A and B are shown apart, each in its own frame.
Chain A
Amino acid sequence: MLSKSKPEVAMHGISKRFGLVLANDQVNFTLRKGEIHALLGENGAGKTTLMRILYGLYQADEGEIEVQDQPVAISSPRDAIRHGIGMVSQHFALAAPLTVTENIILGTTSGLNLNMDHAERSVQAASTRYGIQIDPNAAIRDLSVGQRQRVEILKALYRNVTVLVLDEPTAVLTPQEVEHLFISLVGLKEQGFSVVFISHKLHEVMAITDHVTVLRQGRVVGELPTQDTSPNDLARMMVGRSTFGVTGKPEGSGPQTEGLVLDRVTALDNKGLPALKGVSLNVRAGEILGLAGVSGNGQTELAEVLAGTRPVTQGSLKVFEQDVTGLDAQSMMAAGVGRIPEDSRANIIGQMTVAQNMVIERLNQFSRRGYLDRRAIRGYAQDLIEEYQIKASPEDHIRTLSGGNLQKVVLARVLAQRPRVLMVAQPTRGLDVAATEYVHGKLLEQRSEGAAILLISEDLDEIMQLSDTIAVIYEGSIMAVMPASSATPEELGLLMAGVQQT
C-alpha cells in the first residue's frame, strides 16, 4: 500500500561537494505522500546536506529534484516553501527577543503595514487546526526547548507546506516530549502531510517511520520499508559493520574515596539570574556520574563553575578533600581538575595552531621568563599527536581539523595532565560513531585509573551507557540521584521534565 502512493518529492542523482569533501554522492531519495520517511545515517553521512539542498539552502552540484512529478528548480527557501516544502533545522532558526507570532509570520506578510491583531488570530487558528499548543504572544526567549520546536513546526505549517523536514528533532527533548512530538507527527501524517525524519537513533526510526533511507559517507546504502528491517540491519548499513555502540562497561570497583564533592552550590547565569540553586553532588574516585537533563537547566553553568570560569555565589566545591571553591581556571587545573568543555570549537582558538592550542593552558611550563620554548612546544605536540592518533601536524591551524580530531586534541590536552577529577560536557555531540567510541573508551580508561568523572550530557543513551550513578538536573536543582542499574528512561524522562515521583 505504501509503495503505491504517489511520490511527493523525488531527488535524483544529487551530488554536493564542500572543498575536498564529497558530502552527497549521486543520492536518490523518494518521499511518498502521507508517509513518515526516516533519513538515517551517522553524523557526517550527508543527511542534513541532502535536506538543505531540498530546502534551497544549498545548491546541488549535480542532480534533479521533482515535486509531484514536475521537475523544479529550488534555489532558495522561498522556492522550497512555494513548492510546499518546509524544514525545521536542528538549531532553531528563531529570533529570541521576538514573539511567537512575529517569528511565525516572518516572511509571509505582504504590504508594508503589519496588523498584529490579525496575525495573532491567524497564528492561534493554525495552532488549533494542527493541534500544536502555543501562546502566540510569548517571547521566544521565555520558551522551553520543546516549545520552541513546536513554534518551528507551526512556522512551517503556517506556510501551507505539505512536506515537513525535521532535522534530528528528538536530540533536545525528554522522552515524554519525544512521545508528544510523535503523536503530533502521526496526526499530521493522517492529515496527508509527508514527513522526513532525520535521525541516527534506531529505536526512534523503528517506532515512528514507514520507510527508511540509509546514508553512509554521502551515499545511499539502503532504501526499504521500515517493517521489513530490524535495528541490527539498519545499524550494519549505517556504520558498515555489524557491531555498533555496545562498548562493554566493566564493573566499577574503585576505592570509595570521595573525588569531587559539590555542597549546595549556587551560581548565576549571564543575566544575573540564579542558574544553579543549591546543587549537591558526590562523585567517587573510579566512578562516572552521569548528569542528565534537558539543555538550559543549568548544565552549562555547572560546567563553567567546575572549569573555574564562573563564580560560585554560595556553597562549596571539594576535589579529593581540597577546598577549591572560587578558584580560577588555572588553580582548578592545578588542583587536578580536567575540563572537557561543552562546545570544543568554541573553546579552542581556531586561528592558532594545534601545538599552540595544546599548550595554551599551561604556558608557564613551556616558557622561561616569558620567552616561549618553541622546541619543547613542538615536541610535546608531536608526542600527543602520536599517542592520541590525531590526524594533523603541530603547525596546522586547528580550525581545519574534523570534529573527531578536534575532540581528540581537547582530550589529549586534558588527559596528558593526569587529572584526578574530570568534568566532561557533551563529549560526543556531533561526532561519528568511530570518534564517539574512541571518546567513550578514553573515559572508561580514566575511570579504571581512578579518576572521578562527572559526565554532563543531553544524550540519555550516552548517560545510561557509561554511568555508574545517574543524577538529573532540572531548573538548576538536582531532582534525584540513583544507581545507573536501577534507572529507566521513562523515570529519567519524567525527572528531566521536572516531575518528582512520590
Chain B
Amino acid sequence: MKIQVEKLPAPLWQRSLIPVVSVIITFLLTSGFVLAVGANPVEAAYYFLLDPLSNPVRLIEVLVKATPLLMTGAAVAFAFAGGYWNIGVEGQLYMGATAATAIGLQMHGYPAWIALPLMVVSGFLAGMAWAVLPAIMKVRLKIDEVVTTLLLNYVAIYIVSAILNGPWRDPISQWPQSPEIAASAIFPRLIPRSRLHLGFILALLIIALLWFVLSRTAFGLKMRAVGFNQDAAHFSGIHVNRVIMTVALISGGIGGLAGASEVAGIHFHLIDAISPGYGYTGIIIATLGSLNAFGVAAAALFIGLIDTGSQTVSRALGVPAYLGDVLQATLLLVTLAMLLLQRYRISLRRNSSPQTE
C-alpha cells in the first residue's frame, strides 16, 4: 500500500476531517508547554475540551464566553468575505461599549423597552462611526485598511482610558471604571442565576443574518464578487466602492454591538479591559469558520470552550491561562495549513502496479 496524493478537490469526508485533525495537531504541538510547567498534557486537554461540557453551569459559561466571539467573528467574516481587511473590530467594540454606556447612564427612569433598543442601536452606530475613517481612506485614497484599522484600535483604547480616568471615573471607588448603567438598560438573563444574557440571542440572530445575506441575497453575491476579484466585479457593473463602504460600516457596527452587549450583559459599567482581544480573536474565528456563517458559529463556540477551559487548566494544573492564547493562535496557523488539503485528494493505493490498458 502507498499513499497517493492527487491535485483534485478533496472528497467531503476528507474535508470534514480537517477541523478535527487540526485540533489534534494543535494539542500535540502545544503539549510541550504543558510539560514545561510539569503538568500532564492529556489532563490539560481534558480540562480544555471536556470539563467545560461536564456540567450545565460550565456549559452555560461557554455560551457566555462565546457571545462576544460570535459577534466579532461575524463582523470579521463579513468584512473579509467582502474583501475588506477590517482588523479594527477591537476598536469598534470599545467604541460600541462606550456609546452604550453613555446611553445606559442616562436610562434611569426609562422602561426597558426604550432602554434596550437604544443600547443596541447606539453600540451599532458607534462601531460603525469608528469604521468610517479607514473605509473612506481605503475608497478615496487607496490606503491599505489593515494599517489604519489596526492603529485606530490603540486610539480607541486610549480614548476609553481617558474617559475612565477623567469624566467617568467612579466617584466612590476612584477606580478607572464608569458608574453602573441603569437597571432598565441591563440585558435580561436568559437563564436565571446564570450570566447568559440577551446578547447571546442577538449573536445568534447576527449569525443567521450573516448566512442569509451571504447566500441568499443579491448584495451577498455582489460583495463576495468584490471579495474574490475587485476588477472583475467592477467590470460586471458592481459599484465596488459602494459595496466596500457598506461592508466596512456593517462590519464595524457588528463589532460595536459586541461592545454594547458586553457592557449591558456582563459588566454593567465601562472598564478599560472590556475586551481581552475579542476583536483579534474574531479573525481567528472567521478563518477557522472559512468565512461562512455556520463555520463562524462553530468556531466561536469552540474558542468559547477553550477560553473557559483555560481558566480551569490554570486553576487545576497551575498552567498559566495564557496557554489558551497560544492554543488559539496555533490552531489558527495549523488550520491555515490544513485548509490547503482541500485541494488535494489523498487515497491509499495497492502497491502492485495497475494494469495498463
Check A-B contact in the complex, CB < 8 A. Answer: yes
Chain A residues in contact with chain B, CB under 8 A?
Answer: 18-20, 307-309, 328-330, 332-333, 339, 341, 346-352, 356, 360-361, 363-364, 366-367, 370-372, 374
> In whole angstroms, how far apart are the Cα atoms of A481 and B290 in the complex?
54
> In whole angstroms, how far apart are the Cα atoms of A3 and B244 in the complex?
64
- Which residues of the other chain, B, contact A20 by a CB distance below 8 angstroms? 8
> In the complex, are the beta carbons of B235 and A19 less than 8 A apart?
no
Query: Closest chain A residue to B231 by CB distance?
Result: A346
- Which residues of the other chain, A, contact B222 by a CB distance below 8 angstroms? 360, 363
- Closest CB of chain B to A207's CB: distance in Å? 39
10 cross-chain pairs, A with B, having the tightest CB-CB distances, nearest first = A329-B237, A330-B237, A367-B218, A363-B218, A351-B228, A361-B236, A347-B235, A360-B236, A347-B232, A349-B228
> In the complex, are the beta carbons of A349 and B233 less than 8 A apart?
yes
> In the complex, are the beta carbons of A361 and B237 less than 8 A apart?
yes
Given contacts A19-B7, A363-B222, A372-B217, are A350 and B229 in contact (CB under 8 A)? Answer: yes
6 chain-A/chain-B pairs, Cβ below 8 angstroms: A18-B7, A309-B234, A349-B229, A349-B233, A360-B225, A361-B237
Query: Closest chain B residue to A359 by CB distance?
Result: B221
A-B pair count, CB < 8 Å, reads: 71
> In whole angstroms, how far apart are the Cα atoms of A499 and B236 in the complex?
37
> In the complex, are the beta carbons of B232 and A346 less than 8 A apart?
yes
> In whole angstroms, how far apart are the Cα atoms of A333 and B235 in the complex?
11
> In the complex, are the beta carbons of B225 and A19 less than 8 A apart?
no
- Which residues of the other chain, B, contact A346 by a CB distance below 8 angstroms? 229, 231-232
> A307, A328, A339, A372: which contacts B221 (Cβ < 8 A)?
A372
> Is B216 interfacial (CB 8 A cutoff)?
yes
> In whole angstroms, how far apart are the Cα atoms of A47 and B7 in the complex?
22
Contact with A along B229-267 (1 / 0, CB 8 A): 101111111110000000000000000000000000000
Query: Closest chain A residue to B225 by CB distance?
Result: A349
Chain B residues in contact with chain A, CB under 8 A?
Answer: 6-8, 216-222, 224-225, 228-229, 231-239
Given contacts A352-B228, A360-B225, are A371 and B216 in contact (CB under 8 A)? Answer: yes
> In the complex, are the beta carbons of A348 and B218 less than 8 A apart?
no
Given contacts A371-B217, A372-B217, are A341 and B235 in contact (CB under 8 A)? Answer: yes
> In whole angstroms, how far apart are the Cα atoms of A346 and B216 in the complex?
25
Query: Closest chain B residue to A363 by CB distance?
Result: B218
- Closest CB of chain B to A315's CB: distance in Å? 22
Query: Closest chain B residue to A367 by CB distance?
Result: B218
> A349, A363, A374: which contacts B232 (Cβ < 8 A)?
A349
> In whole angstroms, how far apart are the Cα atoms of A372 and B219 in the complex?
9
- Closest CB of chain A to B234's CB: distance in Å? 6
Interface of B, helix, strand, loop or mixed by DSSP: helix
Q: Which of B220, B222, B231, B236 has the most CB of A within 10 A?
A: B236
> In whole angstroms, how far apart are the Cα atoms of A330 and B236 in the complex?
8
- Closest CB of chain A to B72's CB: distance in Å? 25
> In whole angstroms, how far apart are the Cα atoms of A348 and B216 in the complex?
20
- Closest CB of chain A to B3's CB: distance in Å? 18
> In whole angstroms, how far apart are the Cα atoms of A333 and B217 in the complex?
22
> In whole angstroms, how far apart are the Cα atoms of A181 and B50 in the complex?
72
> In whole angstroms, how far apart are the Cα atoms of A187 and B246 in the complex?
61
> In the complex, are the beta carbons of B221 and A360 less than 8 A apart?
yes
> In whole angstroms, how far apart are the Cα atoms of A147 and B228 in the complex?
35
Query: Closest chain B residue to A344 by CB distance?
Result: B232
> In the complex, are the beta carbons of A329 and B234 less than 8 A apart?
yes
- Closest CB of chain A to B10's CB: distance in Å? 13
- Closest CB of chain A to B278's CB: distance in Å? 29
Query: Closest chain B residue to A413 by CB distance?
Result: B236
> In whole angstroms, how far apart are the Cα atoms of A372 and B8 in the complex?
30
- Closest CB of chain A to B343's CB: distance in Å? 11
- Which residues of the other chain, B, contact A333 by a CB distance below 8 angstroms? 237
Please give 18 more A-B residue pairs, beta carbons under 8 A apart, in addition to A309-B234, A349-B225. Answer: A18-B7, A19-B6, A19-B7, A307-B235, A308-B237, A328-B237, A328-B239, A329-B234, A329-B235, A329-B236, A347-B232, A347-B235, A348-B232, A349-B233, A356-B221, A360-B236, A363-B221, A374-B216
- Closest CB of chain A to B325's CB: distance in Å? 32
Given contacts A330-B237, A349-B225, A360-B225, are A370 and B217 in contact (CB under 8 A)? Answer: yes
- Closest CB of chain A to B124's CB: distance in Å? 20
> In whole angstroms, how far apart are the Cα atoms of A57 and B320 in the complex?
49
Q: Which of A329, A341, A352, A360 has the most CB of B within 10 A?
A: A360
> B224, B234, B238: which contacts A352 (Cβ < 8 A)?
B224
> In whole angstroms, how far apart are the Cα atoms of A459 and B310 in the complex?
65
> In whole angstroms, how far apart are the Cα atoms of A371 and B288 in the complex?
28
- Which residues of the other chain, A, contact B228 by a CB distance below 8 angstroms? 349-352
- Which residues of the other chain, A, contact B234 by a CB distance below 8 angstroms? 309, 329
> In the complex, are the beta carbons of A19 and B8 less than 8 A apart?
yes
> In whole angstroms, how far apart are the Cα atoms of A323 and B242 in the complex?
26
- Which residues of the other chain, A, contact B232 by a CB distance below 8 angstroms? 346-349
Query: Closest chain A residue to B216 by CB distance?
Result: A372
- Which residues of the other chain, A, contact B229 by a CB distance below 8 angstroms? 346, 348-351
> In whole angstroms, how far apart are the Cα atoms of A367 and B220 in the complex?
12
> In whole angstroms, how far apart are the Cα atoms of A371 and B221 in the complex?
10
Query: Closest chain B residue to A304 by CB distance?
Result: B235
> In whole angstroms, how far apart are the Cα atoms of A1 and B239 in the complex?
65
> In whole angstroms, how far apart are the Cα atoms of A332 and B232 in the complex?
16
- Which residues of the other chain, B, contact A360 by a CB distance below 8 angstroms? 221-222, 225, 233, 236, 238
- Closest CB of chain A to B238's CB: distance in Å? 8
> In whole angstroms, how far apart are the Cα atoms of A348 and B233 in the complex?
8
Query: Closest chain A residue to B220 by CB distance?
Result: A372
- Closest CB of chain A to B208's CB: distance in Å? 15
- Which residues of the other chain, B, contact A328 by a CB distance below 8 angstroms? 237, 239
- Which residues of the other chain, B, contact A332 by a CB distance below 8 angstroms? 237
> In whole angstroms, how far apart are the Cα atoms of A178 and B109 in the complex?
86
> In the complex, are the beta carbons of B219 and A370 less than 8 A apart?
yes
> In whole angstroms, how far apart are the Cα atoms of A332 and B219 in the complex?
21
- Which residues of the other chain, A, contact B238 by a CB distance below 8 angstroms? 360
> In whole angstroms, how far apart are the Cα atoms of A371 and B212 in the complex?
9
> In whole angstroms, how far apart are the Cα atoms of A16 and B249 in the complex?
50
Q: Which of B219, B231, B235, B238 has the most CB of A within 10 A?
A: B235
Query: Closest chain B residue to A364 by CB distance?
Result: B218
- Which residues of the other chain, B, contact A350 by a CB distance below 8 angstroms? 228-229
> In whole angstroms, how far apart are the Cα atoms of A339 and B236 in the complex?
10
- Which residues of the other chain, B, contact A330 by a CB distance below 8 angstroms? 237
- Which residues of the other chain, A, contact B217 by a CB distance below 8 angstroms? 367, 370-372
- Which residues of the other chain, A, contact B239 by a CB distance below 8 angstroms? 328
Query: Closest chain A residue to B226 by CB distance?
Result: A349
> In whole angstroms, how far apart are the Cα atoms of A307 and B234 in the complex?
10
- Which residues of the other chain, A, contact B221 by a CB distance below 8 angstroms? 352, 356, 360, 363, 372
